[in-house]
Amino acid sequence: MIVLLFTISNVLQAQEFTLNNKESSLTVFGTSSLHDWHVVAETMSGKIVFVSTETGDLRKCDFEVIAESLKSGKKSMDKNTYKALKTDSHKTITFQLAEVKDIVKKETGKFLLKCTGNLTIANVKKLVPMQFSLEIVNGKVILTGEKAIKMTDFNIEPPKALLGTITTGDDITIKFKTIYK
């Protein structure tokens, strides 16, 4: 009986989950002098490891987007995006959890996490505050949230088009719903 309880306790602790790219979504929203725009990430990967799934306490959360998998549906816009992100030499955008600051349990299996993490875009790494919802249901972990940033904080020149007649706003919002199994 003691061995069974010990085994169950270990199963509930230090569990690792891997991002399911097909079920996950990440969209970047922005503005320009012509119209609002968005790009969708097609290729993402990541892992999360819990200290305890019962308490929502994360030990590790790593997330990566292939920069050239960001697609707008318009080749010229994609080309300008990749140029701004310097994808010829910086292939990925990453987030790595640095510290969990607060965990608020909303109900069984649902939590609100406040944390900090290292966000790296175009080889510029910044420690950023993050807040997201975490839900554990049917063997899946779902992270949902959004983060507003400025492109210039990552040394990214907001893209321009048509000889500079169309300019992109500096502020962008990243919205995500990532599913881990």
pLDDT for 167: 83
Give the pLDDT mean for 75-80. 90
User: Alpha-carbon distance 71 to 81, whole Å?
Assistant: 9
Tokens of 62: 């790593």
- Whether pTM exceeds 0.85: yes
pLDDT for 123: 95
pLDDT for 72: 94
Q: 80 phi and psi, to 5 degrees?
A: -65, -35
Give the pLDDT mean for 154-159. 89
1-21 residue pLDDT tens: 444 444 444 444 579 999 999
pLDDT for 33: 79
- Residue pair 141/132 in contact (Cβ under 8 Å)? The answer is no
pLDDT for 156: 93
* Run of H or E including 39: strand 37-41
Q: Which residues contact 104 (CB under 8 A, 6 or more apart)?
A: 111, 112, 113
- Residue pair 43/65 in contact (Cβ under 8 Å)? The answer is yes
User: Alpha-carbon distance 91 to 83, whole Å?
Assistant: 11
- Residue pair 69/92 in contact (Cβ under 8 Å)? The answer is no
pLDDT surpassing 90 at residue 34: no
The angle subtended at Cα 55 by Cα 64 and Cα 14, nearest 5°, is: 60
Residue with tokens 């140029």: 83
pLDDT for 3: 43
Q: DSSP alpha helices (H): ranges in the chain?
A: 2-12, 75-85
pLDDT for 163: 64
Fold classification of 2-180 is: Lipocalin (2.40.128)
Q: Where are the domains of the chain?
A: 2-180
57-69 residue pLDDT tens: 999 999 999 999 9
Give the pLDDT mean for 30-42. 90
The DSSP secondary structure of 74-127, one letter per residue, reads -HHHHHHHHHHHTTTT--EEEEEEEEEEEEEEEETTEEEEEEEEEEEETTEEEE
pLDDT for 158: 86
- Residue pair 159/81 in contact (Cβ under 8 Å)? The answer is yes
pLDDT-derived band at 162, boundaries 50, 70, 90: low
Give the pLDDT mean for 94-99. 98
> Roughly how many angstroms between the first and final C-alpha of the chain, as a whole number?
29
pLDDT surpassing 60 at residue 78: yes
